[in-house]
Structure 1
């Protein structure tokens, strides 16, 4: 079968189909796979369970030649089965949970994963590598040196170096040496280790909220009046200074624009906000951090637009405090909207922007 004929040029199946009838389903599967591969088709055999992959490979290794008529019969039978197929289902609970992702409640999905022993979606090592150093350190600290050496070997070089830097010096040295002893570790053992570690990553308490308390309070204060926001922050400072500091980092107001917005994103903001609203917001930002934010926006928009807005600001004159706050809020909301859609990315405060 080194030179197979394309399906469109095959002769019609034989009337009796006697030759293909004597073939087993394994032999027919091998013929179909060989034909598809020979025609350049992408056949995702890795999706099959490992025993079936091994069986298919062994079967193909025992076959030598199939005549044109038999090939036509087998391919026609295969095409008929495909046409008769109405629906397929994902394999196992893991596949079903993936298919139903977002359609069933997180609580139900978590319970099913636990009951069925499904602790991963896809490659567990991919999850481990994407988990972040902060999440891996406590797991590695509890595991044996040998397991830690396998993890270190599977991580990217930069991740492995960062992980070592977070561990006590003595343990880091022992793990590094243990890497030299991993030459005899089998792929099956690595898979089992990956599954066990991925399970630990999933074993976190369920929470009712997707974000932390400081993010939730910050979002509320983002939409609150400035006087309310300042009063709440003063109260938080008196009650819990650490929590108040985290809330301040989660807040994004008009005054935060210069430190959080990329200069190149300013034109996107000016397109999102009506010019009359933008003029009112900038005209009312005359003192302190507000003035710095106004100048930042004016300096990073086109010169022609900036000059035009400056003229309109002079003509507008004094702005009522209520109108000023509404205009600034609309500018901030436009920035938040663009961030949520992925069109812009806000700069994180330095303490949050450090790599893990």
Structure 2
């Protein structure tokens, strides 16, 4: 049986490798194939376009030789790897830990996969403000122009008047900005985001300590705060401001929101809290709650408190915690807002 003949391309010194590449690309495009030319570097894309523009035609024999040579080169490749650390990390997305991927990107100075602007536009207002203030007015105008209209408006409303006007005026000067410039700005900002060292905790230390002490017994909380004051008074002062406990309710909660809190707390827990909180700041909170609900409900609760009698410190503290959890849940859902501490209100008034 006759073996099939292997085609061997005839040497064609007339065509350079760049010209052969142009022939292959032109052939594939004619056949309707998808050719990812945009993945080439800008210089290579330019060279390819210029080469295709300078060539006129090749005969069938030359075309066949070039195609056979190209096919043989493809068959000789056993395995190909991504080009550079950026493509390697993109191909390993989801296969290696995010911490390792971020570290390698940071070391190599490359950005994450995808359009940098989609990532930038998804940032929260606070982060965007920090980015804007780190840029020139012209770059800030480009960032603002790339945002959705509603988000851009919200961002401007959070900036001081002169700063907002300066950036808004600079938008009128962005007509001459090229797409390449906008892309480079996006890449530069995304690179800055990637260089931020990952944090193990999303909340600041003050918020974390404050949250822990919120749900600690009053005696434990005060003892720890005294110790913190001795070790680091500025930190202890910030933690005190971050704490929200049962005695803070009258100063931080509006009277109209009391019925919402009452509905959110289990009645047995509420009775325990009212029963335990009869004196001092805790007693003031109990009076505040009773004074801002319907008189019928308040009278009923007073009767049940009288019937309950005294309760243990442990049960009383637990009841206080249940009320605070209910307030925090309502605040997280946006159903009530805290009144700023008196010190913050004074600072705002003088600003």
TM-score relative to the length of structure 1? 0.58
**Which structure 2 residue ranges, 5 or more long, are not aligned?**
1-29, 40-86
Output one character per residue of 1:123-155: Cα deviation in whole Å (capped at 9) or x when no partner: 144146734465225522xxx453244335556
For 2:202, which of 182, 188, 210 is the aligned residue? 210
The CA distance in 1 between the partners of 2:339 and 2:183, in whole Å, is 37
Name 2:102's counterpart in structure 1.
110
Deviation at 1:297, TM superposition (A): 2.4
Name 2:235's counterpart in structure 1.
243
Check if 1:253 corresponds to 2:249.
no
Check if 1:220 corresponds to 2:215.
no
Partners of 1:128 and 1:198 within 8 A in 2: no
Where 2:196 maps in the other structure, the secondary structure is: coil
The CA distance in 1 between the partners of 2:146 and 2:117, in whole Å, is 16
Where 1:224 maps in the other structure, the secondary structure is: coil
Partners of 1:147 and 1:193 within 8 A in 2: yes
Residues matched between the structures, number: 261
For 1:201, which of 190, 193, 210 is the aligned residue? 193
Output one character per residue of 1:19-72: Cα deviation in whole Å (capped at 9) or x when no partner: xxxx9657xx9xxxxxxxxxxxxxxxxxxx9969xxxxxxxxxxxxxxxxxxxx
Deviation at 1:157, TM superposition (A): 4.5
Check if 1:315 corresponds to 2:307.
yes
Name 1:139's counterpart in structure 2.
134
Output one character per residue of 1:153-212: Cα deviation in whole Å (capped at 9) or x when no partner: 556245346546586x9xx86x67654432211234223312322332342122332221
**Which structure 1 residue ranges, 5 or more long, are not aligned?**
1-22, 30-48, 53-90
Where 1:184 maps in the other structure, the secondary structure is: coil
Cα gap change, 1:314 to 1:166, in 2 (>3 Å): farther
The CA distance in 2 between the partners of 1:93 and 1:266, in whole Å, is 53
Check if 1:290 corresponds to 2:257.
no
- How do 1:39-118 residues align onto structure 2 when only pairs under 5 Å count? 105-111=97-103, 113-114=105-106, 117-118=111-112
Check if 1:130 corresponds to 2:125.
yes
Where 1:107 maps in the other structure, the secondary structure is: helix
Name 1:231's counterpart in structure 2.
223
RMSD: 4.2
